Each structure stands twice: as C-alpha cells, then as structure tokens.
Amino acid sequence: MPVALAGGLLSAVQSRINSRLSTELADGFTASAISFGTGLVIVLVIVLSRRSLRARAATFGRDLRIGALPWPLALGGIGGATFVLGQTFTVALIGVALFIVCVVAGQTVTGLVVDRVGLGPGGVRPLTAPRLIGAALMVLAVGLAMSSGVGVDVPWPLLVLPVVAGAAMGLQQAVNGRVSQHTGHFMIATLGNFVVGTAMLVLVAVVHTLVVGHGPAPLPANPLLYLGGAIGVVFIAIAAQLAGPLGVLTLAMTTIAGQIVGSVLLDVLAPTGTEHLTPLTLVGAALTLVAAAVTAGIGPARRRSGS
C-alpha cells in the first residue's frame, strides 16, 4: 500500500506538469499526446534493452494473435486516454474539483464491480461491509477535499464523461493486472498501455488540429514540462504490478488517496495562485487515507479464509 500511495502522489505531480504543458501549448490534445508519446519512448527503450522483456513482448503479441489471451485485455491504454480526454473536454466547463469527484465515483464503483466478478488478477473478492464502507467513505472524503472548488451552476449532463473516465481507469487497472499476470512482467502491460493510449491521443490531436485549422503553440524550452510521460510510466507500472496482491478496489482507493494528499501538498509547497485550501480540504484529504485503510483492512482475513 505505501508503494501504491507513492504512485498516487506521483500522479498528482504528473497532473500539475501536464496542465502546465497544456497551457504553454494552448492545446490540451497535443499536450496529452506528447505526454503519452514520451512515456512510450521510455517504455520501448526499457523493453528493447532487455532480452527477457523482448521475448515476453513477442510472446504477448503471439498470444493475442492465436487467442491465448483475449484481445480486449490489450486495450488498457484506452482507460488512461479516456481520462485525459475527459479532462480536456469537461474541466473547463465543470471545474477540476467536480471532475475529480465524478472520476472517483466512477472508479470506486468499477473497482467494487471488477473485484466482485473477478475480472482482476486477484480473482473474486466479495462485497463485504468494510469494502462498501471504505468505498463510500472515499467518495465522501474526496467530495469534502474538493468542496471549495465545486460549483452548483454547471451543465450537469457533462458529469457523465468524467464518471465514464473513472470507470475506464478502474477497468484499466484490472486488465493491466491480468496482462502482468499472464506475461509474468508488469512492463509488458505498461508497454501495451502506452502503445494504445498514444495511438488514440495522437489521432485525436491530429483531428483536433484539422478541425480548428491551426496547430499548437511552439514547444516550450523547459525540460521539466516533458516529465509527465516518465511519471506516467512509473504510475502505470506500479498499478499493473499491484492489482493482483491488493485487488482493484484497494489499489484504486490507495492511489486516489495519494493523488488527493499529493495535490494538497503541491498546493502548500508549490502554489500557483489558484488554490482553494480550506479546513474541509485538509479533513477530506486525511479521510482519504482512512478510507483506503478501511477498504484494505479485510485483506488479511480474506487471504486466511482462502476466498
């Protein structure tokens, strides 16, 4: 769980970096494609530099072709790309706070369902009281943490997209765990994610450029703005490795807690001038940790029972 929490903290840093890159380019679509694209380059270098990983990647491709592994399990990258597109389309209209609350709601419900039906690598995990309470507490905690930025005058039909984005992320963690389990290494699932996600985002960026009739602003010179992809590699690799031992719901709860706590820490340590820190924000951030602990508290009992 501490590793998953650290992954969530890194994800908060990635969001800040990608947001700044999007602003510099005046084009969120291109910024998203660049972030995924740099991540893809990093993963390719890692995989191609190791003979064992090259062999596993080749076996993964062969298993997909012959049907030894269901091909939908190779589409985990759609989850990350959907989240990025959801940010681009809705944050400006409903605000980042409400976007995050809706994403967490979608991700939480999906985590419960995925674990219950056994889609993740850890098999079936029952809907017990601690898991249900922890999931409800997480949504409440994130709502409190984000309450200062939530407005009531928003186009509510747009809330469907961030909820779908959260659901897609929950499914992404499940299928990535399955791919890691099948191939024997989390980097193969990470590679598949970045191949699919990059292809999807590059296509969307090209279509957007053709529709608006102009490209993005010149690339910024600050090298730090291109670290989002590297952080994404670490985050997806952590999630792919831990989906089995933690379960999709506990993994989601722990990374969400890391994201919220990380966002608060960034607002305190590296403010941008648009922060809305309130006592409720701090209480909500602390409660996310409690929610993750409540959700995970049943793990040892479940393993002892063999279910």
The DSSP symbol for 74 reads G
Say what the pTM is: 0.83
d(Cα 78, Cα 86) in Å, to the nearest integer? 12
d(Cα 210, Cα 227) in Å, to the nearest integer? 27
Give the CB-side neighbour count of residue 117, counting CA atoms within 13 A.
8
d(Cα 144, Cα 14) in Å, to the nearest integer? 23
pLDDT of residue 303: 42
For residue 95, report the phi and psi dihedrals to the nearest 5 degrees: 90, 150
pLDDT of residue 217: 92
pLDDT of residue 150: 60
pLDDT of residue 44: 96
Amino acid at 67: G
Q: Which position has the token pair 């740099």?
A: 38
d(Cα 81, Cα 198) in Å, to the nearest integer? 8
d(Cα 68, Cα 200) in Å, to the nearest integer? 25
- The per-residue pLDDT string of the chain (307 residues; one tens digit each, 9 = 90 and over) reads 899 999 989 888 888 888 888 889 988 889 889 999 999 999 999 999 999 999 999 999 999 999 888 888 888 888 888 887 877 777 666 766 677 778 888 888 888 888 888 888 777 888 888 888 888 888 888 888 777 666 556 666 777 888 888 888 888 888 888 899 899 899 999 999 999 999 999 999 999 999 988 889 999 999 999 998 999 899 999 988 898 888 888 898 899 888 888 888 887 887 766 556 678 888 888 888 888 888 877 444 444 444 3
In 3D space, the residue among 254, 221, 212 whose CA is nearest the CA of residue 3 turns out to be 254
Q: Which position has the token pair 């809907």?
A: 127
In 3D space, the residue among 209, 154, 7, 171 whose CA is nearest the CA of residue 76 turns out to be 171
pLDDT of residue 302: 43
Q: In angstroms, what CA-CA distances link 240 with 77, 96, 173?
A: 12, 26, 6
Task: Name the 3-class secondary structure at 49.
Answer: coil
pLDDT of residue 198: 94
pLDDT of residue 273: 63
The answer to whether 131 touches 112, Cβ cutoff 8 Å, is: yes
